[in-house]
Structures are given as C-alpha cells and as structure tokens.
Amino acid sequence: MAKSRKDNKGRVLRKGETQRSCDGKYVYTYVDPEGKRRSIYSKDIMELREREVKLMKDQLDGLDAYAAGTSTINFVFDRYISTKAELRETTMRNYKYMYDRFIRGGFGKKKIAAVKYSDVLQFYQHLLKEKEMQINTLETIHTVLHPTFQLAVRDNIIRVNPSDGVMAQIKKQPGKNHGVRHALTVEQQRAFIRYIDESPTFYHWASFFKFLLGTGCRIGEAIGIRWEDIDLEKRTISINHSVVYYSREFKEHPICSFAVSLPKTEAGIRTIPMMDTVYDALQMELDDQKEHGFNETVIDGMKGFIFMNRFGNIHNPQAVNRAIKRIYEAHNAEEVVKAAKQHREPVIIPHFSCHHLRHTFCSRFCENETNLKVIQSIMGHANIETTMDIYAEVTDTKKQEAIQNLAHNLDVF
C-alpha cells in the first residue's frame, strides 16, 4: 500500500497537492481542458482546497454549458485552437492575436447557439465600415471564426454553421474592396522606382524595392534575406526562411517582436534566378555596407540580414507600407504639378501595399512567360490555381490590348 504524503503539520495531502519546502506554500497541480499542466498556490491548505473545489466546478460548468449550447464563442474558439497541434507557432500566434483583437471582447461573448447567419454578416459589415478593415484582414477573421463554428457543428452543439456563405455575400456587395490585388501598370511601376532613385529623401529605399519588384518575394522573405542566401557569382537567391513580426504577451502587456519561420508553404522553399536589376541593387547594397557597416540584427540565432532601416535593424513590414504611402503621395503631388506645366495627363500611382509588389512581379512574369509551372515555382505558390488566377487576370488584360491593337492596325472598318 502506497505511503500517504503529508505536510509539515502531519496532514495527509490529496492527489495533486504538494507542499514546497522552500517557503511552506501549498501547490495544487492539474491539467486544464487544453491539456496544459497548471498550478494554483496558497499558504493555507484549507484555502487551497476551497480553490480546488471552485476550479473543478468552473471546469465542469464550462463543459456543461458547451454541451447545452449556452457557452460563448470565446469558449468554443479556445477549445478549437487547442486542437490545432499541426499549426506552425507563428500561425497560431497570428490566429490568437487576430481573435483577441477583433472578436474576444465583443462578438466573442455571444452564446454560440444563439448566433445566426445575419449576426455574422452584420459583424463583418461592422468591421468593414466602422473599423475600416480591409477585406484581406476580414478573410483572416473568417479563417478563425468559420472553423470555430464548424467544431460546434461536429460536436452536435449547433445544427448549421452560421458563417457559411457570409464572405461570398460580402464580396457581392457593390463598392467594396473585394481583396483583389491589382498590379501596378508598367508605367506606374517605372514611375515608382524612378521617383525613389531620384529622390534625396527616399533613395535609400531603392535597393529594397528593386529586390521586391525583381524577385516577387513575400515581405517576410525579403526582410529576412541574408547575405549567405545570395550567390552573386551564380546570380541566384535561396529562399529558405521568413521573418515574421508578431504580437505576444509580456508581463500582461502585448509587445511586438520578430521571429524566424519557415516560408508560408513548402513550395516557398525555392531558388530564384537573379535578374540584372536585382544583381546591381544587391551589389550596390554590399558596397555601401562595406563602407558604412553591416546589419548586426540577430533573430533566433540568425544574423547577416541584408536590408536594414536607419537604426541598423531589419525592416518592420508596417514601416515598409508607411514608406510606400509617403513615396507615392509625394510622387503624385509633384507629378500633378509637372503634368500641368507640360500639358499632359499625370501618371498617378494608386494606393498599394508591399504585397502588391509581389503581385506586380507575378503579373510582369505572366505577361512574358506562358509556362505556368515555371511561374508557380519562382513565386513559391503551393497551388497552381493561385498562379492561374493571376495569369488569367493578366491574359484578360492582354486580350483587350490585342483587340485594340488589331483595330488600330487593321484599317478595314
């Protein structure tokens, strides 16, 4: 028969209870619904046991409420996310961050069984209108909400998923940004780079934006590229990791930091041949850093990053988007004045983000290459459908241009 454990006063300790020898505190260790080991502490054994009883009741109440369909969306999301062991750590952090920021404090408090299709639709419309959320961000919200409801369906807590068809309805509404990223035109692309090259304010961004426009890299891949990933002799670029910028809790306050991750998909690990413009930009960057110093940032043991900001650190994606906005706004203001003086139409650069540069590269590629597998490989698309969607958009535009050229060149009407 096993010997009973006792505290320093001779009282028998129950299963899960211990007493620390260092300070005499009592500890109760248990496993929460997510399978994580947790502990509660008290100086008094009776107080600890009162807390144990309350803890067990709370856990049972939560499960009973779930089974009865009266638990909140928050409860079900926490249950859902605890099952996603296959998610990468960075993806998990992003999902939790988006949920906590936009859902948990408001919509997430609704009872799961009471939520209707129209509730989800109104919530999404609220995010678009009141919060001025971009449709791409809303799709991330949907990515975490839809499977949360689906878990409740599979557990027979609710009959149907109230988020089914909501995004399709949102995208039918006129006047909305439906998330289609349109590439810059050749004229806009040239104007953007030319303005940076000639600007005393923005010229230091030239090599970075030429790299983005000349490789089609995702922003995380570009800011994380290292000199050891570059072969200037063979003129190749190895994409084997990405750097992500994420929010995490630190002493009960959220802070943002960088982490190294694998590329978005396995197809993201690839080698990109270097075009002359990219080679020249990297060579110029190397010569400049040999004179003024290299990037000394270290992230998860990685160092030797190529691109850096004025503080000697790697670029923050949000800072890149802010720089893009300053550049095209400055260009447009000057271009309007120049065009008026020269009696011509101005070349206006539209609002765009760093991901539009990847889309622009892919569009230029599709305009000059018909082998979809080659395009897919260079872009690192996991699915050929992604490549085909961009290719179809480009070829539709080219067909219109071809008809216009035909009408112009054949004077038969």
Instruction: Report pLDDT for 1.
Output: 46
The C-alpha angle with vertex 385 and arms to 150 and 368, in degrees rounded to 5, equals 155
What average pLDDT score do residues 171-179 get?
Answer: 59
- State pLDDT tens for residues 362-376: 999 998 888 999 999
CATH number of 87-172: 1.10.150
Number of helices and strands (H, E) in the chain? Answer: 14, 8
Of 73-87, 89-103, 344-358, 396-410, the least confident: 396-410
Q: Is the distance from CB of 263 to CB of 225 less than 8 angstroms?
A: no
331, with CB counted inside 10 A (0-12, 13-18, 19+), is buried
What average pLDDT score do residues 285-314 get?
Answer: 93
What average pLDDT score do residues 157-181 get?
Answer: 77
Q: Is the pLDDT of residue 384 over 80?
A: yes
Instruction: Report pLDDT for 35.
Output: 59
pLDDT tier, 36 (very low <50, low <70, confident <90, very high otherwise): low
For the ranges 7-11, 244-248, 272-276, the maximum mean pLDDT occurs at 272-276
More confident residue, 378 or 249: 378
Residues 6+ apart with CB under 8 A from 10: none
CATH number of 186-403: 1.10.443.10
Helices (H), 369-413: 372-379, 384-409
Question: Tokens 């349109």 sit at which residue?
Answer: 182
What average pLDDT score do residues 43-54 get?
Answer: 88
- pTM for this entry: 0.65
* Dihedral angle over CA of 20, 24, 25, 29, nearest 10: 30
Q: How far apart are CA 32 and CA 47, in angstroms?
A: 20
Q: How far apart are CA 110 and CA 406, in angstroms?
A: 59
Instruction: Report pLDDT for 105.
Output: 92
Q: How far apart are CA 52 and CA 26, in angstroms?
A: 12
- State pLDDT tens for residues 204-243: 999 999 999 999 999 999 999 999 999 999 999 999 999 9
- State pLDDT tens for residues 274-296: 999 999 999 999 999 999 999 99
What average pLDDT score do residues 166-174 get?
Answer: 82
Show the tokens assigned to 261: 């991750």
User: At 306, which amino acid appears?
Assistant: I
Alpha carbon distances (Å) from 148 to 33, 34, 112, 163, 220: 16, 15, 10, 10, 28
Computed over every residue of the chain, the mean pLDDT equals 86
Of 52-66, 253-267, 336-350, 388-402, the least confident: 52-66
Q: How far apart are CA 137 and CA 157, in angstroms?
A: 28
- State pLDDT tens for residues 52-79: 887 776 665 555 567 666 789 999 999 8
Residues 6+ apart with CB under 8 A from 85: none
Instruction: Report pLDDT for 324.
Output: 96
pLDDT tier, 174 (very low <50, low <70, confident <90, very high otherwise): low
User: At 80, which amino acid appears?
Assistant: Y
Instruction: Report pLDDT for 245.
Output: 80
Q: Is the pLDDT of residue 183 over 80?
A: yes
- Residue 255: phi and psi, rounded to 5, are -130, 160
Show the tokens assigned to 210: 């030429």
Beta-sheet pairing, 236-239 with 230-231: antiparallel
Helix (H) or strand (E) holding 243: strand 242-250
SS3 of 75, please?
A: helix
User: Would you kindly state where each structural domain of the chain is located, as residue ranges?
Assistant: 17-68, 87-172, 186-403
What average pLDDT score do residues 42-52 get?
Answer: 89
Q: In the chain, pLDDT over 90 holds for what percent of residues?
A: 54
Q: Residues 121, 122, 125, 131: is their CA dihedral positive or negative?
A: negative
pLDDT tier, 179 (very low <50, low <70, confident <90, very high otherwise): very low
Of 86-100, 116-130, 296-310, 354-368, the least confident: 86-100
What average pLDDT score do residues 355-359 get?
Answer: 92
Q: Residues 314, 316, 322, 324: is their CA dihedral positive or negative?
A: positive
Instruction: Report pLDDT for 332.
Output: 95
Instruction: Report pLDDT for 65.
Output: 63
